[in-house]
Amino acid sequence: MNFDRTRMGQTLLDRLPVGRDPVSVRRRVEAMEHLLEGLFVIPGINRRIGLDVILDALPFAGTSIAAALGAWMVWEARNIGMSKLQMARMLGNVCVDWALGMIPLIGAVPDFFFRSNSRNLKIIHRHLDRHFPASVTIEG
């Protein structure tokens, strides 16, 4: 099989919209949450992990990179007009995740259980469902 990497990359990028409208924001934050929290399933316990836990293998820098990606979700929340209180709560989730991840050697364990990005996605979903009900997508 001949795979064209450029074409494969374009189709991945084509799936993520670039607009600031609620549907575009919803799709981007869902993709980011999946990247950070649900890339792989651990066999035997059926627990999903993502880049957030994997980056903990890099002491200090990995946790900071994961926190920056999580903070991007807060930035996206700003694009859909979420309240400062909601964004502060989301930023608090990111900061708690960052602080727990900074614990040397065992920082991945709290990241495995405290899923700040999933929590933040729920906050964004609640806001979108309440204020932009047309942005809800049904996947089959």
Mind listing the pLDDT tens digit for each residue in 56-85? 888 889 999 999 999 999 999 999 999 999
pLDDT at 34: 94
In a domain, 53, yes or no: yes
Number of domain units in the chain: 1
Does residue 3 belong to any structural domain of this protein?
no
Look at residue 16 in the predicted model and tell me its pLDDT. Answer: 78
Helix (H, G, I), strand (E, B) or coil at 82: coil
31 belongs to a structural domain: yes
Residue 63 located in a structural domain: yes
| Prediction pTM value | 0.85
Q: How many CB atoms lie within 10 A of CB 93?
A: 21
**Spatial distance between the Cα atoms of 93 and 115, rounded to a whole number of angstroms:** 9
pLDDT band at 13 (very low <50, low <70, confident <90, very high): low
> For residue range 81-123, what is the model confidence (pLDDT) as tens digits?
999 999 999 999 999 999 999 988 788 888 888 999 999 999 9
